[in-house]
């Protein structure tokens, strides 16, 4: 084990799946298919083996947080306001963060009676393309400086205080922030915040986003596998854009496949891989848990902070 993982316990999938009494997945195969990303291979067995034990562990963390808040209230001789349990989920582009987040949203809402679970992706906190262009950052989209981190921290601060908040909406179809559209995020029992940048905060040395998280997950895989998944996803996005001239990817459907693949490989190499190597992966050990995926998207190892 490298030094980087020295403060993590490495748990095989076989060991992990036996840490929780077997039960049926609280969702159907159809529901699972409707929430998984394009090329994700997740199935109901993965839900039972990996995600049900994870949900049980989150229950333990939530109970510990509530016990601590209760004891703290007694010590301070005041009633502390109930706070949402905030979960951060990070990892590379195309590694499957969205599937993990949407699945956890369903599992938490069905494990905890009447729990309200909000899901937020940090794409909405990207600066609009017009601002990125003005700052000559369009080719740095997804890099730390392309996000309005102050707005993101303000959002997390409001959430932590049990206040609702309106956040911008990002569309992958138009590859930009949707002007005049906002997503209302209510104070909830759980809030899942998902994005490549959720363990970073280069604009504010005094405050990290991780300071707001009660539990955090990094979805990990070998670089060559992530590149393969990224290219598969790129081709699927093109397929969906064929008949929609407003779609950002429509322009690529006019090119031959070889050109498109060469273009996508170049985007991976010059943008996504650089971002992963320089900014995303170095934050991996800030997570409470690392879910490692093998070649076919299957989670084979779990690392839990000691």
162 a known binding residue? no
94 a known binding residue? yes
Whole-angstrom Cα distance, residue 149 to residue 151?
5
**Are 190 and 138 within 8 A, CB to CB?**
no
CB neighbours of residue 119 within 10 Å? 20
Handedness of CA 104, 105, 107, 113 (dihedral sign): positive
**Are 226 and 94 within 8 A, CB to CB?**
yes
CB neighbours of residue 168 within 10 Å? 19
219 a known binding residue? no
Alpha helices (H) along the chain: 13-17, 29-35, 44-46, 52-76, 97-111, 129-134, 149-160, 223-241, 257-267, 273-275
95 a known binding residue? yes
142 a known binding residue? no
**Are 95 and 221 within 8 A, CB to CB?**
yes
92 a known binding residue? yes
In order of 115, 120, 155, 182, the CA distances from 166 in angstroms are 21, 11, 8, 6
In order of 84, 136, 186, the CA distances from 122 in angstroms are 18, 21, 16
Annotated binding site for ATP: 91-98
Q: Which residues are documented as binding site?
A: 91-98
């Amino acid at each position: 084990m490298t030094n980087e993982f020295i403060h993590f316990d490495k748990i095989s999938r076989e060991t992990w799946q036996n840490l929780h009494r077997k039960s049926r997945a609280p969702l159907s195969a159809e529901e699972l298919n409707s929430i998984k990303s394009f090329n994700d291979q997740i199935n109901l067995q993965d839900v039972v083996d990996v995600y049900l034990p994870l949900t049980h562990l989150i229950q333990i963390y939530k109970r510990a947080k509530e016990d601590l808040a209760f004891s703290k209230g007694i010590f301070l001789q005041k009633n502390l306001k109930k706070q949402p349990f905030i979960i951060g989920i990070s990892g590379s582009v195309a590694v499957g963060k969205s599937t993990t987040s949407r699945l956890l949203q369903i599992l938490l809402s069905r494990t905890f009676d009447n729990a309200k679970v909000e899901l937020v992706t940090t794409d909405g906190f990207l600066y609009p393309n017009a601002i990125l262009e003005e700052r000559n950052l369009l080719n740095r989209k997804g890099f730390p400086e392309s996000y309005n981190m102050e707005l993101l921290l303000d959002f997390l601060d409001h959430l932590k205080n049990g206040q609702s908040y309106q956040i911008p909406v990002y569309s992958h179809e138009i590859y930009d922030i949707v002007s005049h559209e906002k997503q209302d995020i209510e104070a909830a029992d759980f809030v899942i915040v998902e994005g490549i940048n959720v363990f970073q905060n280069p604009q504010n040395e005094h405050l990290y986003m991780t300071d707001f998280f009660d539990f955090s997950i990094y979805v990990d895989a070998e670089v060559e596998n992530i590149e393969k998944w990224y290219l598969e996803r790129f081709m699927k996005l093109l397929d969906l854009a064929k008949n929609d001239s407003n779609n950002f990817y429509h322009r690529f459907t006019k090119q031959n496949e070889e050109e498109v693949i060469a273009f996508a490989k170049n985007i991976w190499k010059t943008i996504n891989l650089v971002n992963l190597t320089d900014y995303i992966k170095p934050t991996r050990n800030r997570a409470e848990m690392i879910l490692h995926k093998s070649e076919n998207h299957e989670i084979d190892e779990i690392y839990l902070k000691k």
